[in-house]
Structure 1
Amino acid sequence: MTATAQLRLVTPTEARAPLVPDAQIINLTIESDEKLLLTVVDAAHRLGIGRTLMYELLDAGEIASVHIGRLHKVPVEALQDFIERRRDAARGA
């Protein structure tokens, strides 16, 4: 998803000008990075845990992952599923 916004830069002055000149307009494009697959380190960072614990959870099958060539990737949905399972277990479901 890409969004474009216009920002007006205004410098403080003694007297307020009624209009900001167009020369002070900056067009800013913001792109959100919505990856479907994360690296193990990125997935651990999102969960707020260390890389080693993340690998332990992956090896134990607690969090699903996929291999693409030599790369070990974690689907974003796998993190959401893991959190939901942990919540359900904490509720006693």
Structure 2
Amino acid sequence: MAPTPKGHAMRPLTDVSAELQITHSTRATATTPPPTVVVPLQRRLHSVSDAAYVLGFERTTVWEQIRLGRLRTVRVGRRRLVPTEYIEEYIEMLKRESDAA
């Protein structure tokens, strides 16, 4: 498994719903605000190194999959980033290929 990139604590992609916190007030009035929902921000664009970590691949393997067009990316300036949904699509493609074999 690829090591964690420096300065990044990787979490499973589906942690957002588990961390949803709702604060209730008993009654909303002019002096009390309505209930608030606190949703922690989760990164949706991953560097190639982070995507490699999430997938359990080496960076060179991820770059090869990108070059072959099997893992899609987006460009932001000079950076190439992998959106979370493209990682999920790639995993689903691997599952389909495994089932077909």
Measured against the shorter chain, the TM-score band is: 0.5 to 0.7
For the aligned residue pairs, the C-alpha RMSD in angstroms reads 2.3
Give the superposition deviation at 1:91: 1.0
Q: Which TM-score applies when normalising by structure 2?
A: 0.59
- Opposite residue 75 of structure 1, the aligned amino acid is P
| Counterparts of 1:57 and 1:3, CA distance in 2 | 34
Q: Which residue of 2 aligns with 1:50?
A: 58
Give the superposition deviation at 1:68: 0.4
- Opposite residue 84 of structure 2, the aligned amino acid is V
Gaps of 5+ in 1: 5-30
Q: Which residue of 2 aligns with 1:10?
A: none
Give the superposition deviation at 1:33: 5.1
Q: Which residue of 2 aligns with 1:38?
A: 46
Structure 2 residue 79 is matched with structure 1 residue 79 = no
| Counterparts of 2:72 and 2:51, CA distance in 1 | 11
Q: Which TM-score applies when normalising by structure 1?
A: 0.63
Q: What SS class does the counterpart of residue 82 from structure 2 fall into? A: strand
Give the number of equivalent residue pairs: 68
Bigger fraction of residues in strand:
1
Q: What SS class does the counterpart of residue 72 from structure 1 fall into? A: strand
- Opposite residue 74 of structure 2, the aligned amino acid is V
